[in-house]
């Protein structure tokens, strides 16, 4: 019988729950590190080159996302890592061509859709830390879900060129990591 290594999880039918969990956690950590490192570096680079914030702002809105950019990037990175890891675990085979492009872009967009309400909650949390602490603080915090869904996509859309470069880099990073994981899986069989 072949010895099991970190990357040889076996055929899907023979995988036990422990190895599946190890693999999922490994994928999650790898996707998170790449996303957080890439988006954080891109944020610093775009802000430096533009001489101003890489993030957009909305009128009558405090710019907590500018005061704490790495926290908001971290929310996106966690959501992306979760979606990308699950996608990698569930994917039976690699697609090619237009289907592959659409699949990877869908992973990134689903991650952003999940991150927007969480970012709204984080914005309301920063608002309460700044002194706007109501009696019904849980209602305010949960109200961030709706605000995040309404304002989040606009902030992402208006954060040009950060959004476009992030999407392109995210596409190539997701494709490369996924191809690497698939090669590891094939090698382990």
Mean pLDDT, rounded, for 4-20: 54
pLDDT at position 16 is 61
Q: Report CA Rg, the chain.
A: 19
Sorted by where each begins, the domain ranges of the chain are 15-188
Q: Residue 115 burial by CB count (10 A; 0-12/13-18/19+): exposed, middle or buried?
A: buried
Q: Does the pLDDT of residue 21 top 60, yes or no?
A: yes
Mean pLDDT, rounded, for 112-117: 94
pLDDT-derived band at 189, boundaries 50, 70, 90 = low
Highest mean pLDDT among 8-17, 35-44, 148-157: 35-44
Residues 6+ apart with CB under 8 A from 140: 124, 127, 128, 134
Render pLDDT for 33-74 as a digit per residue (tens, 0 to 9): 999 999 999 999 988 988 887 887 766 677 787 889 999 999
* Percentage, residues of the chain above pLDDT 70: 86
Mean pLDDT lowest among 44-48, 172-176, 183-187:
183-187
Model pTM score: 0.82
pLDDT-derived band at 12, boundaries 50, 70, 90 = very low
Render pLDDT for 78-105 as a digit per residue (tens, 0 to 9): 999 999 999 988 876 677 888 888 999 9
pLDDT at position 92 is 65
Mean pLDDT lowest among 1-5, 88-92, 121-125, 138-142:
1-5
């Amino acid at each position: 019988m072949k010895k099991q290594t970190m990357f040889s999880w076996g055929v899907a039918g023979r995988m036990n729950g422990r190895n599946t969990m190890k693999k999922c956690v490994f994928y999650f950590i790898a996707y998170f590190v790449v996303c957080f490192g890439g988006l954080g570096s891109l944020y610093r680079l775009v802000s430096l080159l533009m001489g101003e914030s890489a993030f957009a702002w909305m009128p009558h809105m405090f710019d907590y996302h500018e005061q704490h950019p790495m926290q908001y990037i971290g929310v996106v990175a966690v959501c992306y890592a979760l979606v990308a890891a699950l996608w990698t675990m569930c994917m039976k085979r690699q697609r090619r061509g237009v289907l592959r492009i659409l699949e990877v872009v869908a992973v990134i967009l689903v991650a952003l859709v999940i991150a927007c309400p969480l970012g709204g909650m984080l914005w309301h949390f920063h608002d309460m830390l700044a002194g706007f602490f109501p009696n019904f603080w849980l209602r305010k915090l949960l109200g961030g879900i709706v605000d995040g869904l309404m304002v989040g996509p606009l902030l992402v859309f208006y954060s040009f060129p950060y959004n476009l470069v992030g999407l392109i880099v995210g596409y190539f990073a997701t494709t490369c990591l996924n191809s690497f994981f698939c090669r590891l899986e094939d090698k382990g069989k």
